[in-house]
Chain A
Amino acid sequence: MKALALVRAHAQIGFLDLIRYPGYVVPTVVFPAMFFALFDLPFARRAPELADATTLAFVVFAIVGVTLYQFGVGIAQERGRPWERYLRTLPAPAWARFAARIVSAVLFGILAALVVAIVARAFTPVDFTVTQWLTVFVYALAGGVPFVLIGISIGYWTSSRAAVPIATAANLLLAYAGGLWMPPDDLPRFVQSISPYLPTRQFADLLWSVHGDANALRALAGLGIYTVIFAAIAAIGYRRDERTRYA
């Protein structure tokens, strides 16, 4: 109970600190929807099935962008700051701070995904029941977790300068090869063969399963494996940073 209160306190402070920078919030939250409007809207308007599939793909793109990119880069910049040093002196275990970061990152991602959903509702024949929308967002909460951990891993294993290009490349490549920008069947054959193993594709499969187009359990299992792997990489990165910074 006490630990949960700590996670909440850390998540709250992290969220408040970010939400008050309009220059950060607006582009972060609006960018995925803008991308959706520019490139996929014409395509999505053609038929309800296409609208459903692309909308969900961009919900994934929104969450991955915020969690992997924004929070990954954020860690790389923050980890040397005096405030981080102070947080380490407070009586809170490292895992509580990690959990808080996951919570605030996923919440931010959900905000960006909501904007995508609103644009889709307004301009495409997207057709989900309320229950389906709710399922999508519950799945989205869970699906965001491994991507925060990938972001944290990038943040701890790269310098603050390298983090931006590396996270950008990871974000865009995973989005493309995961089939978020075009139907997976239209990807080049080679990409098609690796696509099902990528976390972005598994996340998209998880959401597409709402329509019965994919197997939710398989997707969840894949995301679970990525969660474990990147939790370990992030934790090792954190320890390594601790050793070099406070040796």
Chain B
Amino acid sequence: MNERTVLTLDALGKSYGAIRALDALSFSVNSDEIVALLGPNGAGKTTALEIVLGLRDADSGSVRLFGSSPREVRIRRRVGATPQQSAFPDMLSVDEIARFVAAHYPRPAPIATTLEEFGLAALSKRRAGTLSGGETRRLALALAFIGDPELVVLDEPTTGLDVESRRRLWSVVRARGNGRSILFTTHYLEEAQELATRIIVIEHGRVLFDGVPRELRERVGGRRVTYVGRDGPVAVTTLDADQYVRTMVSSGVDFQNLEIVHPSLEEAFLSLTGGAK
């Protein structure tokens, strides 16, 4: 692998008044990586992205994007990003917005193909104000890729979408991820596991975990098996729920209301912070 560092955050600190959003946040993104920035609301994900995109300056530490400051226009030509939800001027068509964004890049991707991949081909003449929430989301994502940039930054790409559309978008993003780096934020553990080649968990503006999805799964990804047994409710956390249930059934244990659930992100954090102590 010919790995190259695309983005480096070194001990970034950022406070809003008394609130400490980033606390010596450090991580890097290499070429061809899909990195998930996973954390609950208020963990500092958006602040980190805003600094990466040159919207904000950090109070301390440094950020290097392709070896330079993200404030430089020349550097931002190598980056594509999503606008926040429902950000589009109502009266502009999908096609006009796509062309406008593409005009900023030296070698943009073909517009028609990009719109088609994101399921927007039939909507290209539609005004942004008439798009549904899901369609707006798809347009936002398509814009991040339309300049064919080396780094794509997605802020909560699938928030507010149903499971079906989320999965469809993941496959498009995965296909588009070829030959470039993607950095995205999410508060869905599942999204990070499915899409990323590397996961960085942040909380209170600090890195809690930085590794491959398998590693995270082993640390926090167990399933919780709950049932009501002879002596009352039972809750067990196991890495292999299938095997656990198989053993349970074959041993003839009496159980009712069997449930297997993914641990929530909050529970995952508890086990991560617990593990650090």
Residues of A within 8 A of B (CB): 5-6, 9-10, 12-13, 16-17, 20-21, 81-83, 85-86, 88-93, 246-247
Contacts of A82 in B (CB 8 A): 83-87
Contacts of B97 in A (CB 8 A): 13
Known: A9-B103, A83-B89. A92 touches B84 (CB 8 A): no
Contact A89–B53 (Cβ < 8 Å): yes
Contacts of A89 in B (CB 8 A): 53-55, 76, 81, 83
Contact A20–B91 (Cβ < 8 Å): yes
Cβ-neighbour of B87 out of A12, A81, A93, A246 (below 8 A): A81
Contact A85–B84 (Cβ < 8 Å): yes
Contact A83–B91 (Cβ < 8 Å): no
Closest to A12 in B: B100
Residues of B within 8 A of A (CB): 16, 50, 53-56, 73-74, 76-77, 79, 81, 83-89, 91-92, 96-97, 99-101, 103-105
Contact A91–B100 (Cβ < 8 Å): no
Contact A83–B96 (Cβ < 8 Å): no
Contact A6–B103 (Cβ < 8 Å): yes
Cβ-neighbour of A9 out of B16, B85, B89, B100 (below 8 A): B100
Cβ-neighbour of A13 out of B73, B76, B79, B96 (below 8 A): B96
Q: Is the interface of A mostly helix, strand, loop or mixed?
A: helix
Contact B104–A83 (Cβ < 8 Å): no
Contact B104–A9 (Cβ < 8 Å): yes
Q: Distance (Å) between the CB of A242 and the closest chain B CB?
A: 9
Q: Distance (Å) between the CB of A75 and the closest chain B CB?
A: 14
Contact A91–B83 (Cβ < 8 Å): no
Contact A86–B103 (Cβ < 8 Å): no
Contacts of A85 in B (CB 8 A): 55, 83-84, 87
A201 to B226, CA, bound (A): 82
Contacts of A12 in B (CB 8 A): 100
Q: Distance (Å) between the CB of A25 and the closest chain B CB?
A: 11
Q: Distance (Å) between the CB of A32 and the closest chain B CB?
A: 24
Contact B83–A247 (Cβ < 8 Å): no
Query: Which residue of A6, A10, A16 has the most chain B CB atoms within 10 A of its CB atom?
Result: A16
Cβ-neighbour of A90 out of B16, B76, B88, B96 (below 8 A): B76
Q: Distance (Å) between the CB of B112 and the closest chain A CB?
A: 18
Q: Distance (Å) between the CB of A71 and the closest chain B CB?
A: 15
Q: Distance (Å) between the CB of B155 and the closest chain A CB?
A: 10
